[in-house]
Structure 1
Amino acid sequence: MLALASTPHAWADPITVTDIAGRNVTVDAPVERIILGEGRQIYLLGALEPEAPFAHVVGWRHDFSEADPDNYAAYAAKFPEMTRIPTFGGFKDGTFDVEQAASLKPDVVLMNLEAKAATEDAAYDTKLAELGIPILYIDFREKPLEHTIPSMRLIGRLLGDEKRAEAFIDFAEAQLARVTDRIAAAKPERPRVFIDRAGGYSDDCCMSFGPGNFGEYVELAGGDNIADGIIPQTFGTLNPEQIIAANPDQVVVTGGNWGAYVPGGNWVGVGPGADMGEARTKLENLTRRTAMTGIAAVENGEVHAIWHQFYNSPYYFVAVQRLAKWFHPDLFQDLDPEATLRELHERFLPVDYMPGYWVSLHDD
C-alpha cells in the first residue's frame, strides 16, 4: 500500500530541529509523508527503515533510476510499490513542480544542501513555506565526512528511528577508524593519487576532486591527492599536462552504470552485479588517454575503478577502506573491504549484497 494513502499519526508532536544548513525548522514528528528532493536519499532512509524504506515517501526526484539503475532494479524487485510513487524534476534545473508537491500533502521535503542556492533563487522555499511545507537540508555529497552523520541523526529523529541511526553511525565510525587509526600510527609514505571522476563519461579529461569528498577519502586512506592545491573546491578539473607532471603512483577512476546518460560510453560500469571482465577492459582502455602517458600508476598497473556513488551515499567508509588497501597493501593485509560492504548490507540495508563495486588492473 502506498504511503500517499496514509494519515498522520495522532501522536505526532511539533519538534524543532537544526538542518545541515544551520536552519532551525519546526516539524510535526514522527513525520508520515516525505518528499525526497533526490532519489538517492533512499540510501539513508533504507538504512534506517530497511523493512519498509518507502513507507513514508510520497514523492521523489527521478535520479535514482538513471544514476544508479542496478540498485534501483534491486530495490524495485523487493519493493515494487516504489515504481508507483510520483516523481519530480529537480530544484537545481528548475523543473520541480510546487503544485504537484502540495497535492501530495507532505510533512517535509528533504533537500540536498547543494540545491539550496537554486531553491532560494527560484523561491521554492518561499512557495512551500506559504503552503506550510517545511524544507530540511541534508548532505552526503558536498562534505560527506562532516555532514553524513548529522544527516542520519536528523532523519532518524524525524522518523523516530534514533536508535537505528546511532547503530549505523557506530558501525560507520568503527569501520572508518580501522583505517585512520592505523594510518595515524604507522605514518606510511603517501603515494601520489589521481582520482579520475567519472572517467570515460565524456571525451573531456579529466574531472577530479579537490580537498573534499573523494579527495578527502584519499587523504584518510593514506594517499596524497594530486588535485589538492589545484582544485580549490570539492569538484573541478585537471588538464592532461597537470596529471602527467604530477606523475601519480595510483589512479582511481570512479564509475557506474550510466547507460541512461551516455549509452555505450567509455565509463567503467562498476556497481552491484557488474560484469567485471567488461569493467576491467574499459578501465584498461582509459589508460591509453593522453593524460595517462608515461605515468607511474599505469607503468606499475596501479589503476583501479570504484563505484562512483560512494561519493553520494552514507557508505563512504567502505570506499576509504578500499582505497587504503590499494595504497598500502602490506599495512592493510587483514582488511577486507568487501566483507565490510557485505556486513553493511546484511545488518542495515534493504537489498542483498552483490559484488562488483570495484575492479583493478592487478590482482589483490
Structure 2
Amino acid sequence: MAAASPVSAADSGALPLDVNGDAQISTEEMTVSVLAYMEQTYAGAGADAGQYSDLIDGAYVYTYWNKTAKTIPDSSGQSVILTRPIHRAVVMNGEAAETMRSLGFDSANVVGVGKYILDDPVFFPEYAGLPNVGSVWSPDYEQIISLSPDVVFIYADFMDSKGDEIQETIQSMNPAVHVLRYDLFSPDTYAGEVELLAAAIDREEEGARFASFYTRQMDTVTGRVAAIPEDERVRVYFEGADDFKSCAEGSGYHDKILIAGGRNIFGNATPSYPVVNPESVLFGNPGVVVKLQGTGKLDFGGYGDDDTSKTIGVYESLITRPGWNTIAAVKEGRVHIIDTDIFGGPKHFIGILYLATWFYPDLFADVNPEEIHQEYLTTYQHSTYDVHSQGVFVYPVTPIV
C-alpha cells in the first residue's frame, strides 16, 4: 500500500513533515515522508517542489535540531522561531555580512544586500551584482519582499526606532519573513553577538572558534594595560575627519581609546563628538595623536585604495599646524593616522591593537597588528587580500623614532 504523502509546509511556516501538528518530527513522520517520496519517484510520478523542499528541510530539522523548531534569540531581545534552515537571506548591514562570512555562512544563500555592501566591492566581491535592497536608512521594501527571503538581517539597537519601523513594515507586507537583528560593532557586545548569530545560521562551532580568536586579541590588550595606573596612562588626542572634531564619553572612539589604555584629553567634553578649540589641544599636550581617515572629507584609503599620497598629505598637514611643534606627540613622532575600515565594525579589534602598540610600544613590542589583520582576512574572511602590499590602513606604518 502506498505511504501517505504529508501536506506541504513550504509556504505555511509550519514545521515540515509534522503531519499531526505536535511541533515535532517523529521517526514515523520522517519515515513516511521518505517512503512517499521514493515511491513517487520510482513510479515515475515525480514529487512536487513543495514535497521535495519539505523532505530536505524536515530531514535537516530531524537530524540537526533535535526534531523540532529552533528558537533564536537575537540582540534586540526578541526570540524568533525557525522551522527551517535559512536558504534565502537578505542582509542589510555590512557588519552582519562580514561576521556571517567569518562564520562560514554560504554566500549563495544571500539573495539581496544593502546599498553600502554593494558600494564596497573590494571587501565584498561575492555580492557584486546582487539585488540592491537600499540602505538601512532608506530600505527598498518592494525589492526585499520580491526576493522572498526567509530572513532579513538588520541592526538591533544602533538605529533605535528605525529598526523597529523596518521590521514592522517588512512583516506587515509578509508575516512569514523573519527579521533578525544584530549590531556587531561594539567591543562590549561583539563576542556575545557572534554566538547569537552563529546559532541562527547553524554555525555554532565556527562561532565559538571565531569568538575565541576575537577575544584573544582583545584580552591581549586589556590584560596588559590593566596594571597601568590611571595617572600614568598616555594622554591621547583623537581627531575625526573634520579638523578639531574630537570624541568624548558616549562615543565609540572614546571607548576604544580607553580599552587600549589611553586617556582621552577631551573625554569629559560635550557633546560626544565635540568640536574643540585648537588652543585647547596645545594646552592638553597629548603624548599621542590619532587622526581618522576613510570617511567624510577624508574618504580615501582603506581596502579600496593603494595610494598613500593623500594620507601622507594629511599627516604632513597635522604635524605642521601652528604651534604643534610644541606638542609632545609631534616632538616624539607619535602622530598616527588610522582608517575607519579597521577602526569600526567587526574589525575594531585591529584598530584597538594598533592603538595599544602606539600608546605603549614597549609593552606591546611582540604584537604585530598587521599580521593579525592578515590572519583575520585569510582565516576568517577567506580572502586573498594582502594587507602587506594592498590598501592604506595606518600611517606611518612603523613608528617614527
**TM-score (norm: length of structure 2):** 0.73
Where does 1:268-279 land on structure 2 (aligned, <5 Å)? 269-271=301-303, 274-279=306-311
Q: In the TM superposition, what is the alpha-carbon distance from 1:73 to its structure 2 partner?
A: 2.0
Q: Tell me, what secondary structure is at the counterpart of 2:148?
A: coil
Residue in structure 2 matched with residue 280 of structure 1 by the alignment:
312
**Which residue of 151, 157, 163 corresponds with 1:119?**
163
Q: Please name the residue that 1:177 is paired with.
A: 219
Q: Paired residue for 2:38? A: none
Query: Does residue 1:101 correspond to 2:157, yes or no?
Result: no
Q: Aligned partners of 1:275 and 1:183: how far apart in 2?
A: 34
* Aligned match of 2:286: 248
Q: 1:270 to 1:231 in 2, by over 3 A?
A: farther
Task: From 30, 41, 57, give the equivalent of 2:110.
Answer: 57
C-alpha contact 2:237 2:246 (8 A) present in aligned 1: no
Match of 2:41 in 1: none
Residue deviations 1:203-248 (CA, integer Å, cap 9, x gap)? x531435344232221121111223221465xx2232344344332
Deviation of residue 292 (structure 1)? 5.5
Structure 1 runs of 4+ aligned residues shifted over 6 Å read none
Contact 1:272/1:354 (CA < 8 Å) preserved in 2? no
Task: Using the TM superposition, give the Cα deviation of residue 74 of structure 1 relative to its aligned residue in structure 2, in angstroms.
Answer: 4.9
Mapped contact 2:293–2:339 kept (Cα < 8 A): yes
Q: Using the TM superposition, give the Cα deviation of residue 87 of structure 1 relative to its aligned residue in structure 2, in angstroms.
A: 0.9
Amino acid at match of 1:85: L
Distance 1:29 1:297 in 2: 56
Say if 1:270 and 1:279, in contact at 8 Å, map to a contact too. Answer: no
Contact 1:191 1:223 in 2 (8 A): yes
Q: 2:134 maps to what in 1?
A: 89
Deviation of 1:43 after TM superposition, in Å, equals 1.4
Shift of 1:173: 0.9
How big is each residue's C-alpha offset from its partner over 1:269-327, in whole Å with a ceiling of 9 and x where there is no partner? 24466333542232222445579685332333211111213343222222222111111
Higher relative contact order (CA 8 A, sep 6+): 1
Query: For residues 290 and 30 of structure 1, what CA distance do their matches in structure 2 show?
Result: 60
Q: Report if aligned partners of 1:209, 1:231 keep a CA contact under 8 Å in 2.
A: yes
Equivalent residue for 2:179? 135
Separation in 1 of the partners of 2:302 and 2:145?
38
- Cα distance between partner residues in 2 of 1:309 and 1:291: 31
Question: Does residue 161 of the first structure (1) align with residue 203 of the second (2)?
Answer: yes
- Is 2:269 aligned against 1:237? no
Q: Which residue type is aligned with residue 165 of structure 1? A: G
In structure 2, the gaps of 5 or more residues are: 1-52, 62-67
The residue that corresponds to 2:365 in the other structure is: 333
Report sequence identity in percent.
24
- 1:194 aligned onto 2:237: yes
How many Å separate the matches in 1 of 2:92 and 2:299? 26
Q: Deviations over 1:3-39 (max 9, x none)?
A: xxxx785135532222212222223453122111223
Superposition TM-score, scaled by structure 1 size: 0.80
The code of the aligned residue for 1:192 comes to R
Quick one: which amino acid aligns to residue 163 of structure 1?
E
Alignment partner, residue 394 of structure 2? 358
Larger Rg, first or second structure (1 or 2): 2
Are the counterparts in 2 of residues 40 and 63 from structure 1 also a CA contact under 8 Å?
no
Instruction: Name the structure 1 match of 2:350.
Output: 318
Relative to its length, the structure with more strand (as a share) is 1
The whole-number CA distance in structure 1 between the counterparts of 2:91 and 2:276 is 36
Using the TM superposition, give the Cα deviation of residue 116 of structure 1 relative to its aligned residue in structure 2, in angstroms. 3.5
RMSD: 2.8
Number of equivalent positions: 330
Deviation track 1:316-346 (CA, whole Å, cap 9, x = no partner) reads 2222221111111111111111121122223
Structure 1 residues 196, 140: CA separation in 2 closer, same or farther (over 3 Å shift)? farther
Which is further off, 343-352 or 163-172?
A: 343-352
Deviations for 1:174-202, whole angstroms, at most 9, x for unmatched residues?
A: 121122212124548211112222x2xx5
Structure 1: stretches of 5+ with no match in the other structure: 1-6
Alpha-carbon contact 1:29-1:159 (below 8 Å) kept: no
